[in-house]
Amino acid sequence: MKVICGLGNPGERYRYSRHNVGFRVVDLLADRWGLAGAGRVREGAAVLDATLPGPIGRVLLVKPMRYMNNSGSGLRAAMRQTDADAAVDLLVVADDIDLPLGRVRLRRSGSAGGHNGLRDIIATLGSDEFNRLRVGIGRSGHAVEHVLAIFKPGERELAAEAVATATDAAERWLRDGIEEAMNEFNGIDLAEPPE
C-alpha cells in the first residue's frame, strides 16, 4: 500500500492559503480518482482509501487535521492502519518558500528545510527517510504571514497549475517510483514560457 500525505491547516480560513497546497494536491487526487466526500477523520487525520487499477493497488490519502506544526501524529496514526514502509511507500506533499511559485521538487529524503510540518513528521516517525514533494510558493516579507496568506490574484492561475503539476508528479511517483518522478518533474518551471 502507498500513502500520500498532503500538509496544510484545517478550516475554511486556511483553505486557499499558500501553506495548504499539500491539502489541495490530495483533494485533486481524490477528485481525479472519483472519491466522494472528505473521508473519515480519525485520530487527527482525514483519510481516504482508494484502490487504483493495475499494479498500483491501494493508496491511502491523508490530511493531518491538527494544524501544520502537529502533522506527525495524524500521519503516524494513519500509517499504523497500513503495511506501508515510510522509506519507500510514503510521499509527503508540502509547500516550500524556498522554491519559486511554479516549481515542484521531489526528493527521496532529507531535512525539514525549515518546514514545521515536515519537522514534526520527522520527529514523530523518528526518521527523515521518506519521499517528499515540495510545491513552490515563493518567498515574500515575513515568512509566517506569507505562508498563511492566500495567493494574490495574479498568482492564482500559476498556483493552480503548480498544484495540478504536483498532482501529476504524485501520480507518476505511484506508477513508476521516486527516480522517474524526479527525472520528469524536478526541472519544470511553469513560470517560464515554453520554448
Quick check: is 115 catalytic? no
What per-residue string of b and e applies to 26-46 under the rule 16 or more CB within 10 Å gives b?
A: bbbbbeeeebeeebeeeebbb
126: left (phi over 0), alpha (psi -120 to 50) or beta: left
Place of cell 496568506: 149
Give the Cα separation of 128 and 148 in Å (integer): 25
Closest to 131 in 3D by CA, of 177, 100, 167, 69: 177
**Exactly one of 19, 115, 142, 146 is catalytic; which is it?**
19
Mind telling me the catalytic residues?
19
